[in-house]
Chain A
Amino acid sequence: MKYKDYYAVMGVPRTATEAEIKTAHRKLARKFHPDLNKDADAESRFKEVGEAYQVLRDPEKRAAFDALGTGLKDGDEIRPRPDVSDGFEYHGAGGAQDTDDFFSDLFGARQRHAPRSQSFDWRGEDHHARVSVSLADTYNGAHRTFTLQMPSVDDQGRVTYQTRTLDVSIPKGILDGQRLRLAGQGGAGTGNAPAGDLYLEVTLEEHKQYRVDGRDVTLDLPVAPWEAALGAEVVVPTPAGQVTMTVPAGSAAGRRLRLRGRGIPGNPAGNLYVVLGIVLPQADTEARKAAYNALREAFEFDPRANFYG
C-alpha cells in the first residue's frame, strides 16, 4: 500500500491539536468544495482533505496513523503492522467521501451500509452521473453510449461498483449543466417497488473554435484585409455544417456578425456570432513588398491620427 501524509494534506504539524485540525479542515473543505470551486482538481482535493480528516479527527485512527512513523514520503510502499489494521472500525461519513486505497488498506474499511430489509417494498434509489457531449450532439441530437460506475449494495450491505453501459438518446438543444432524467434507470427497488431514476448531468465539451454562452455560440473568423474592406462571401464552419456568409464591406477587426437562429437549437434557437479577425499577409517577397508600398502610396493613412491627443 502507498503512504499518504495526512498532516501535509491538512497543512498542519504532527503536533497539531484537535481544535487546529478541525479549523484546518473547515477552511480546506470550504476552499475545495466542488460546488464552490470550479478548478478541475477541486473535487479530488476535497475528497483527500475529507479522508485525512476522518483519520486525524479520531484519536484512535490518528494514533494508528502516527504509529506508521515519520520520514515516509507520499507514495512510499508500506506494510501496516498487523496490530494496526485490526480493531479499527470505520463508520461511513454519510456517503460524503469516497476513500481511496491507502485509507481502506489502513483501516480495512469500505463503507458499510446496513443490509436493507427485504420485507418492505422500497422504491430504488435515484442515481446521478455526469456525462459530456459535444456541441455537434446538441445541434443535431445524437445517440451516445456511456459507461457508468453504478453503486449497488450487496447482501452483506457492502457498496460495490458495477460497470454499466447505457445507450442514450441526446435530445437536440440540451445545454451545458442541464440534467437528463431517465425514468426507472436508477437503483433497483425491493419487493414490488419500482426502480429509481437516473439523472445525467450534461457537460458540453470545450471546442477549440466555438465559445458557448447559453444557446449563443461565438466563432472567430480570420479574414484578409481586402475581404474586410471590400466585402466578401466566405465559407464559415458552423456546428451544423458549413454555410456561406456575407462579410459586409468596410468591416473593422472585431466586428461581430450575427447569424440569427444558427446557435444551439431551441425555442427560440440561439444565435451564431462570427467575430472578424483581420490577418495580414507577410511581405516576404519583392513583389509583395511592392504591393504594400503601393498601398502606402495610395492612402495617406495615419493610424495614429488621434492617438497622441
Chain B
Amino acid sequence: MKESDPVYLQGDIVEEHVEFTLIELCRVTGASEEQFTLWVNEGAFEPRGARIEEWRFSGASLRRAVTAQRLTRDLQLNAQGVALALDLLDQIDTLRARLARQDDRGDTFETSCKP
C-alpha cells in the first residue's frame, strides 16, 4: 500500500447496528451495574430479555445512558429523577422537531424529477 493512501477506519452506526449487554453499556458510559438496574426498574430503559444476564439494550439506549450517567454525576439525581428528566427531554425533543416543522406545513404534492 502506498503511504499516500491511508486506511480509512470503518465504524458501525451504533443506533442501527449495535446492541449492548449490561456489562458493555456500563463500560461505555461509566455507570455501575447497580445504577443501571435502578434505571431499568424505574422504566427509564427497557432492555430485551428477562434475566439481567440476558438483557440486551438497543443502540439508541447509548445516547440516553450517557445523559443519565452525566445527570447522576453532575446533578446528584436519583433514579426517579433521572427517569423523569429523560422523559421530559424526550418530550422537548418531540416538541422541538414539531416546532421546526411548523414552517413546512403547506399542502404537499408529489412531483417528479430527472437526474
Report which A residues bind B (CB closer than 8 A): 26, 29-30, 33-36, 46, 50, 94-96, 123, 126, 128, 143, 145, 166-169, 171, 174-175, 177-183, 185, 196-197, 199-200, 211, 213-214, 218, 236, 241, 243-248, 254-260, 262, 273-275
Q: Which of B2-36 contact A (CB under 8 A)?
A: 6-16, 18, 27-28, 30
Out of B28, B97, B106, B113, name the residue touching A236 (CB < 8 Å).
Answer: B113
Q: With A35-B89, A36-B89 as known contacts, state yes or no: A167 contacts B7, CB within 8 Å.
A: yes
Chain A residues within 8 Å of B66, by CB = 128
Out of A95, A175, A273, name the residue touching B104 (CB < 8 Å).
Answer: A273
Asked whether, in the complex, the Cβ of B110 is within 8 Å of the Cβ of A178, the reply is: no
12 chain-A/chain-B pairs, Cβ below 8 angstroms: A167-B6, A167-B7, A168-B9, A168-B11, A241-B115, A247-B111, A255-B106, A256-B106, A256-B108, A257-B109, A259-B113, A273-B108
Asked whether, in the complex, the Cβ of B71 is within 8 Å of the Cβ of A33, the reply is: yes
Asked whether, in the complex, the Cβ of B9 is within 8 Å of the Cβ of A29, the reply is: no
Chain B residue, CB-CB nearest to A144: B8
Chain B residues within 8 Å of A257, by CB = 108-111
Q: With A126-B28, A244-B114, A257-B111 as known contacts, state yes or no: A169 contacts B106, CB within 8 Å.
A: no
Q: Size of chain B's interface in residues, with CB distance under 8 A?
A: 41
Rounded to whole Å, the gap between the CB of B12 and the closest CB of chain A is 5
Asked whether, in the complex, the Cβ of B114 is within 8 Å of the Cβ of A256, the reply is: no
Chain B residue, CB-CB nearest to A178: B15
Report which B residues bind A (CB closer than 8 A): 6-16, 18, 27-28, 30, 59, 62-63, 66-67, 70-71, 73-75, 85, 89, 97, 100-101, 104, 106-115
**Docked complex Cα distance between A15 and B104 (Å):** 53
Chain B residues within 8 Å of A46, by CB = 74
Q: With A96-B73, A236-B113 as known contacts, state yes or no: A275 contacts B15, CB within 8 Å.
A: no
Chain A residues within 8 Å of B30, by CB = 95
Q: With A36-B89, A257-B109, A275-B104 as known contacts, state yes or no: A213 contacts B67, CB within 8 Å.
A: no
**Docked complex Cα distance between A174 and B14 (Å):** 10
Chain A residue, CB-CB nearest to B62: A179
Asked whether, in the complex, the Cβ of B74 is within 8 Å of the Cβ of A29, the reply is: yes
Rounded to whole Å, the gap between the CB of A180 and the closest CB of chain B is 4
Chain A residues within 8 Å of B13, by CB = 171, 174, 178-180
Chain A residue, CB-CB nearest to B15: A178
Out of A169, A179, A245, A256, name the residue touching B63 (CB < 8 Å).
Answer: A179
Rounded to whole Å, the gap between the CB of B27 and the closest CB of chain A is 6
**Docked complex Cα distance between A308 and B89 (Å):** 44
